Amino acid sequence: MAVTKAEGWKSKNWYSIIAPEILGKAILGETVADEAEKLIGRTVETTLGELTNDFSKQNIKLELKIDKVAGNSAYTKFLGHQLTQDYQRSLVKRQTSCIDTNIEVETKDGYRVRVKPSCYTIKRAKANQLKAIRQIMNNVIINRAKELDLNQFIQEIVMGKLSANIYRDVKSIYPLRRVEIKKTRIEAEPGQPAAS
């Protein structure tokens, strides 16, 4: 006997998707599955604005992955974040410099995280200034990662504190308009080889 669509739907359960601890364990929404195990590994995208009810943070996209199900709750872990493309485009202005870098760091608790920050200057900077700014960006990120565990490090990134630290250290070299961490990605957990 064939199972009708209605019967198949009734056999499925609803699960609340829970944000990781670093994002306040907020409920992100609900999903449906006939078996809890099928939820493991699903990725979920949201914005920091939706999580915090702060419209000014809508430009920060978060990528999470369901890694545990208990009862009717599906718990997620943080995979990475990225600024929206339209927001990134709005930061680029004529006759200014945009200094990017791409660095992999290790947190105090052994996570390897790829971080892509950018500095935006008020006017066009010279080559030696660009090099100095890039070096300072890398140093600030490496040092903060060594001092903080993953949760603290990610919180500093998404809440803008790491950008503020970079801004403070770089402004003596050249006047800045803005500093943003454009993207992060967790490359490896403690004891794991980095993803290729």
The pLDDT tens digits for 66-84 are: 999 999 999 999 999 999 9
| Residue range(s) in the chain whose domain bears CATH number 3.30.479.30 | 85-188
- Which residues lie across from 18 on neighbouring strands? 27, 75
Q: pTM above 0.85?
A: yes
Please state, rounded to an integer, the average pLDDT across all residues of the chain: 91
Give domain 85-188's CATH architecture: 2-Layer Sandwich (3.30)
Tokens representing 29?
């929404």
pLDDT for res 10: 63
pLDDT along the chain (196 residues), means of 10: 50 91 89 91 93 86 95 95 94 94 96 97 95 97 97 93 96 94 94 63
